[in-house]
Structure 1
């Protein structure tokens, strides 16, 4: 197969932990041709969506880890699969990219995850569709409603709806210290909606990343454990990643939600689970492949490329 990865600049990859690199490596190992391009390389002209792509060859070296052929401009529909792996922020430029990919789909491209499905599943708000698995949650821009939620639950996490890597997350305990400042800052004085969730004490055991591929959970999760006085387990915020076998509750959540999301075109999903509760549904570029593989021996990238191959075979 010819597989194209829409990703951030290859020069930014930290290949010892990058999940997109793990996907590329597995695809190349199987003999698939691997191509790469960035969102800015896509063009819509005279109704056709093309991109300037480069075929890349993995060298096995830790630094100069790839070499690239000369760029070529091709229709995205010529590829057997396009893997959407651009990291957030999920801003309007990202949205425009999903529109271009959606047009490419109409011209025959196969994109995983489907761009329309990515656009329709905000990584914070999607949990509202599965409220039976969530802790008490409020989404609002109204300071009075947010204050009332804190009054009711006492210990609350506040976070923006478009954040990533733990950015902008605040915990306000029962004493309400800095509550007004946090609400004013995150909502921009009531102009932007934010999320408030009842604090889950089980965060001390980790914010678990449950990967779901083709509707099926990976049998190991990565617990991202906060360090020191930090409340955030995100690896980008200094959390310690510890791979663990999936728990019964995590499997229950994944098996209930995974097939629904897969049917909507989300081949790869990263569920965030703290204790008994679903807290986020990550659909843009879920990670943790290599951490799980390194610590358990389970090859997540192989499971993912299996799923891509099955989808392509089914479409042919």
Structure 2
């Protein structure tokens, strides 16, 4: 197969933990050919199809010079067997524009994973609204008054921006309400932006678990991202410690309920964030943790992903 990865610059990859790299490595191991491009390389012109300037690469196995560039060419996206959208957030206007270009490529015959329309339709924090039976009490609002009322009801809360990533912009406000007004003003920009508020889940001390679901099937191990020191955030980017562990009964229940629903919408890979038994986010843009789970448990997550990709393309 010829695979095109739409991703961040290759020179920015941290290959010792990068999930996109692990996908590429497994695909090449099976004899598939790899090409990459950036979102800004995508273009469309009337009377033509969506094309991109792509780099054909070969992985070397050297952790320093980890790839060689074999060819740079302009190709139609429909000429690839699959186009994998693996651009990291932010989920901003340029990301959305890229999904529109990718959706046009779909209309021209390309197979895009995850499906562009579904990427747009499932913003990672708001996607939990569809599954309220699994969430901690949650509020989505611009209203400072609504935030105050939510705090009065639940006491210990978490506030976060809808466009944050890696734990950026997350605040905890306890029962004393210290700085609640200032934090709200900071996050909602004086009422101009929507924010999310959730009741604090004390099980965060045992980790914010990333539960991966591939082709509607849960990976049997999660990566619990455990906050360190006085930090409330478990995100690896915020210094959390990643510990792989078997899925709990609650994890299985959540993953088996949500996974097939979203897989049917063209989301081959999703990452559910679960604290205790509460779903807090649904990651669809570029879910990670493949390498950490594989290295700690021996369960080959990249192989499970490429298996699912091959089945989809052959089916």
What's the TM-score, normalizing by structure 1? Answer: 0.99
Q: CA deviation at 1:54?
A: 1.1
Q: CA deviation at 1:70?
A: 2.5
Q: CA deviation at 1:48?
A: 1.2
Which residue pairs with 2:19 in the alignment? 19
Task: Tell me the distance in 1 between the aligned counterparts of 2:135 and 2:166.
Answer: 20
Unaligned runs of 5+ in 2: none
Which residue pairs with 1:119 in the alignment? 120
Task: Tell me the distance in 1 between the aligned counterparts of 2:267 and 2:16.
Answer: 26
Secondary structure at the residue paired with 1:89? coil
TM superposition outliers: structure 1 runs of 4+ over 2 Å: none
Which residue pairs with 1:180 in the alignment? 181
Q: CA deviation at 1:281?
A: 0.1
Are 2:266 and 1:265 equivalent residues in the alignment?
yes
Which residue pairs with 1:209 in the alignment? 210
Task: Tell me the distance in 2 between the aligned counterparts of 1:58 and 1:15.
Answer: 11
Which residue pairs with 2:278 in the alignment? 277
Which residue pairs with 1:165 in the alignment? 166
Q: How does 1:302-313 map to 2 (within 5 A)?
A: 302-313=303-314
Task: Tell me the distance in 1 between the aligned counterparts of 2:107 and 2:306.
Answer: 23
Which residue pairs with 1:55 in the alignment? 56
Q: How does 1:1-316 map to 2 (within 5 A)?
A: 1-46=1-46, 47-314=48-315
Q: CA deviation at 1:121?
A: 0.2
Aligned-CA RMSD value: 0.5
Unaligned runs of 5+ in 1: none
Task: Tell me the distance in 2 between the aligned counterparts of 1:218 and 1:121.
Answer: 21
Q: How many correspondences in the alignment? A: 314
> Contact between 2:57 and 2:71, CA under 8 Å: does it hold in 1?
no
Q: Deviations over 1:190-247 (max 9, x none)?
A: 1111000000000000000000000000000000000000000000000000000111
Task: Tell me the distance in 2 between the aligned counterparts of 1:122 and 1:39.
Answer: 18
Q: CA deviation at 1:45?
A: 1.3
Q: CA deviation at 1:176?
A: 0.4
What's the TM-score, normalizing by structure 2? Answer: 0.99
